[in-house]
Structure 1
């Protein structure tokens, strides 16, 4: 480690000194770096472990690194979604004393992904548009604090799902400027046009590489950021004076934002002699709360209604198990539910019936069938009984939907036959575990 290395950091971490700063970033070995998906950048960016966490390291000039570090710290203080800056490493030299580029170190945003990891040939067009809507919401928040981005793009953004919300985070601020007096309409429009052009180019690039669903129109999706931004900006900047007998207009205002694809993060109402002034601060959301929660808990990919039905069963399982084993965490119980309940039902489907329905739909129908049997018998039916009955009386007579869709009928679940389940006396239906 060179003795004249200069580190700028508000929260100095001594483990920064353990990284090989005397080597160009491109020469760091697998022992030094972590392989994570990342977006396209004009600078070399790599990930490394630091005190048990992952950081992103970008090589640039000392001037640019310090400038971006300061901007990111300011944006954080203004509560704008962005990555957390940790340090600037300057005055780097190699073993021969030759100068090396400075480095900006930021904390990797957990559970976030660049757009290239989110866009795929299987992504639905509506979801693609919602990613752009999230970026529109981020751009509005940046403009509200007087930040001109200058290089708005999907590549300079990370996306994260969190508690039902779909959020966009600024990653690259090196072209930005902060204007405390606020941005002019011309500056805002310039940022918006840069965003539209960059997004269109990025999506066209994905399409050229066969990584974009044919149903997604790159130009139309890119253009949607303009309409979303302008609608939101208008809603945020048009205070309403509401008469005492027209309080319903508050709900109407909220519903207009909901129609634009946004939920309400904060609603501030100020009353006075002139009426009631309403200010609304939106938070971008992506429909599909149940789908995301089920996926985060179990890894199961399901449609929204399927997920809602499965979560009811999962939550019941967790509640019952908590009574018997209060020290076991929810995540462990969710994994147990996946293995003992969901996986067993899906894997019980005979090979010749596996083209009928996908796994989540089979499980949903088994749950529905169990309810039907219980009503019919006027007593609780076990999941094992319902699975037997459903396969024999329902699934065997359904049409082969996988064949209709011309997709493979193989399943990734390990095969567990009904006979194997019957013989496993140590694994009763989960309602009998307690």
Structure 2
């Protein structure tokens, strides 16, 4: 057998003792990890834990495994929203298929889990909008998915919204750019698959009665075209408007979560034409800014929410000080006096149910709710205590929490 692994190699060494010479379906259950958040797969998929890491193992044709291994590696280096690949095992005995190894995406959930969980407040339209955003990001990077579906997408909470990640890349093809026909075909394939998946949810009693699966699936193409047009269209405006029009367009793209590459402005006596090269890059504008100020690595919407809280905290400091306070000083104080106390107050038995930044976001939302009810500002500390008592316990615990992995037995 041969193993190909990407850095860091230390993660791979913990997997080498597994019985790679046997079919995945025959592995001893004591070696495996049950992941309730998993979706449906056409292949044999198993989960294992080594040290503090969880990995997904998929048995697949060797040619497809190598293809997916290469593409996922490229996508990760470019910052595209996909799962992270670790390696593949090939040349297994008795002409067995290869095994592709990917890192389990922490705090992620399948669409079925989102609808069946105790906090299943996620609408079909919301999932569709999130998946459409993922498709636009991939298409901008020249990625033809070929099998876009809810089953091949993982969803991650991001400041009250959701972020989507590509899971399965075996049908993916990469081009310098995609033609309108390629994009339309990819969208049509997604429409068919999403419709079938929503019908399956309806049959299982997981879809609200007021949701029509076919109607929702048919809305995928218009949603996609509206977002694609928003991030790629050319603008024409008066020459005297160019400065604020450019700033407005760039801010709009940033607000949608997209970064900007080259900006081309063509002027003539009749007006100015703005062309913007929209691209996908990680981390985004708000993530970079938050990391610069605090060293925290979070998702884009979470970063935006935390930055807003830092700005409010800075304004309060300036009001009390009667003068300006530097941004870095305010961020340092906020981290020590506001953010860290909330994160450190999470009860031990509730740790890992949501990412710390998502917990902080939800505490802020809970604070607003309690303050409205009490007609006074209840404060972050009081809101956190109430949130830990009444809200967070209803969130299923995350399988990749170190304390959870420690309960799984010797292999963990």
The normalised TM-score by structure 2 is 0.64
Aligned equivalent of 1:209: 204
Distance in 2, Cα, partners of 1:254 & 1:123: 35
Deviations 1:231-251 (A, max 9, x none): 122223322244343255457
**Alpha carbons 1:78, 1:145 under 8 Å: kept:** no
**Alpha carbons 1:40, 1:155 under 8 Å: kept:** yes
Distance in 1, Cα, partners of 2:173 & 2:377: 61
- Cα gap change, 1:79/1:105 in structure 2, threshold over 3 Å: closer, same or farther? same
Pair 1:18-2:14 in alignment: no
Deviations 1:328-374 (A, max 9, x none): 753122549x9xxxxxxxxxxxxxxxxxxxx9999556632788xxx
Pair 1:147-2:133 in alignment: no
Distance in 2, Cα, partners of 1:186 & 1:320: 50
Q: 1:331 aligns with which of 323, 343, 347?
A: 343
Q: 2:192 aligns with which of 187, 197, 208?
A: 197
Aligned equivalent of 2:74: 74
1:198 Cα deviation after fit: 0.3
Distance in 1, Cα, partners of 2:96 & 2:143: 31
- Cα gap change, 1:366/1:58 in structure 2, threshold over 3 Å: closer, same or farther? same
1:71 Cα deviation after fit: 1.6
Aligned equivalent of 1:263: 256
SS at match of 2:240: coil
1:155 Cα deviation after fit: 0.5
Aligned equivalent of 1:34: 33
**Alpha carbons 1:112, 1:160 under 8 Å: kept:** yes
- Cα gap change, 1:165/1:278 in structure 2, threshold over 3 Å: closer, same or farther? farther
1:10 Cα deviation after fit: 2.5
**Alpha carbons 2:246, 2:274 under 8 Å: kept:** no
**Alpha carbons 2:130, 2:162 under 8 Å: kept:** yes
**Alpha carbons 1:6, 1:90 under 8 Å: kept:** yes
Aligned equivalent of 2:304: none
Map 1:108-119; keep pairs closer than 5 Å: 108-119=104-115
Deviates more, 1:148-157 or 1:136-145: 136-145
SS at match of 1:88: strand
1:18 Cα deviation after fit: 1.6
SS at match of 2:223: helix
Q: 1:172 aligns with which of 164, 168, 175?
A: 168
Aligned equivalent of 1:297: none
Aligned equivalent of 2:330: none
Aligned equivalent of 1:8: 4
- Cα gap change, 1:32/1:246 in structure 2, threshold over 3 Å: closer, same or farther? same
Pair 1:46-2:41 in alignment: no
Aligned equivalent of 2:126: 130
**Alpha carbons 1:241, 1:277 under 8 Å: kept:** yes
Map 1:31-430; keep pairs closer than 5 Å: 31-36=30-35, 37-93=37-93, 98-120=94-116, 123=120, 127-163=123-159, 166-180=162-176, 182-247=177-242, 249-250=245-246, 253=249, 263-267=256-260, 273-274=267-268, 275=272, 277=274, 279=276, 281=278, 329-335=341-347, 363-364=370-371, 367-368=374-375
Q: How many residues align?
A: 315
1:280 Cα deviation after fit: 7.0
**Alpha carbons 1:113, 1:160 under 8 Å: kept:** yes
**Alpha carbons 2:81, 2:165 under 8 Å: kept:** yes
SS at match of 1:142: helix
1:149 Cα deviation after fit: 1.2
Deviates more, 1:75-84 or 1:131-140: 75-84
- Cα gap change, 1:188/1:31 in structure 2, threshold over 3 Å: closer, same or farther? same
1:226 Cα deviation after fit: 0.7
SS at match of 2:76: helix
The normalised TM-score by structure 1 is 0.61
For structure 2, the 5+ residue unaligned runs are 281-307, 317-332, 351-365, 383-389, 394-412
Structure with more contact order per residue of length (Cα contacts < 8 Å, sep ≥ 6): 2
- Cα gap change, 1:70/1:367 in structure 2, threshold over 3 Å: closer, same or farther? same
Distance in 2, Cα, partners of 1:246 & 1:148: 37
- Cα gap change, 1:257/1:218 in structure 2, threshold over 3 Å: closer, same or farther? farther
Distance in 2, Cα, partners of 1:195 & 1:134: 13
Distance in 2, Cα, partners of 1:271 & 1:111: 42
Aligned equivalent of 1:298: none
Distance in 2, Cα, partners of 1:229 & 1:109: 25
Q: CA RMSD in A?
A: 4.1
